[in-house]
Amino acid sequence: MCNLCREGWVTEAQSLLDLMVRVGVRPNIISYTILIDGYCLAGRMKEPMKLLDDVVRVGLKPDAFFYNTLLHGCCRSGMIDAAVRLFREMLSCEVRPGIITYNTVLQGLFQSGKFPEAQELYLNMIKSGMQLNLYTYNIILKGLCKNKCVDEAFKIFQSLCSKGFQLDIITFSIMIDALLKSGRKEEAMDMFAAISAHGLVPDVGIYHLMIQNLIKEGLLEESDNLFLAMEQSGCTPDSCMLNSLVRRLLYRGEITRAGAYLYKIDEMNFSLEASTTSLLISVFLREECQHQMMSLPKKYHFLVDVKK
């Protein structure tokens, strides 16, 4: 049954479970959990809810793993109200939720925009003395930042640092992104500089955040220097980053600088994204830009002949 569900043959897995019942073999809670996981992966959420009733009807007691599987499926499908009901049912049935359960519900609440409920849940978790893991804190920080509670997130971040909590690069990415978006550039720069002190190495995502913000602020020489430092550190730009930087530079009219990143795209055998191509065409429809064509790779020189 496990292999059937993994391969998406959930209907066949359901038939197998039905056959087990008909021949007098009572499926255990693991069998039902596997089947529910298959339905959740297939996005068929009505069947798992019915299976929950079947499990109770045949006298089986759902365990934490069973509820976690169902909760994850509900949250992933945007059925946060159903997930909250399941969570409460879990508590009423004296099935003790672990940190995985709380993380699933907490992330679902934040993602569905139920910020007050998410905030209440994580505050209760802290008050209860539950040991939160890094994944939990990242969920909380991201949820707070998304809801413009950057000060509160920053206080939690500082508290984690002062306690010597082992952070990861995702934590720094969440906070740097939020600080930049809220106009707190100096704090973001300080946090970026502190990454190495925590035994971490900036990844392409964080470099992307920092460089695009420098371009936004018009600090183009600084952005060039940081890109060079990124490459020298052994961090390789990806297609998403290079396309994004090309667009940002084109919006600023920095065609020569954009050309340097277009050369990088070609060197690394990446493709232009549709939005990048569209912007290139629109830029070179303007006569005042056409004289800068030679600063671009030769393959893009045809754009000078594109007519409205």
Closest alpha carbon to 237 in 257, 263, 215: 263
Q: CB–CB of 113/121 below 8 Å? A: no
Closest alpha carbon to 36 in 79, 83, 2, 81: 2
Predicted TM-score (pTM) of this structure: 0.83
pLDDT band at 19 (very low <50, low <70, confident <90, very high): low
Dihedrals phi, psi of 23, to nearest 5 degrees:
-90, 5
Closest alpha carbon to 16 in 6, 27, 29: 27
Average pLDDT, the chain: 88
Percent of the chain with pLDDT over 70: 90
- pLDDT at position 145 is 95
Burial class (CB in 10 A: 0-12, 13-18, 19+), 162: exposed
Q: Is the pLDDT of residue 7 over 50?
A: no
pLDDT in tens, 117-167: 999 999 989 888 888 999 999 999 999 999 999 999 999 999 999 988 999
pLDDT in tens, 54-96: 888 888 898 999 999 999 999 998 999 999 999 999 988 888 8
Half-sphere exposure of 87 (CA within 13 A, CB side): 23
Which is more confidently placed, 189 or 48? 189
Estimate the crossing angle of helix 99-111 against helix 115-127, to 10 degrees.
160
- pLDDT at position 288 is 64
Q: CB–CB of 303/284 below 8 Å? A: yes
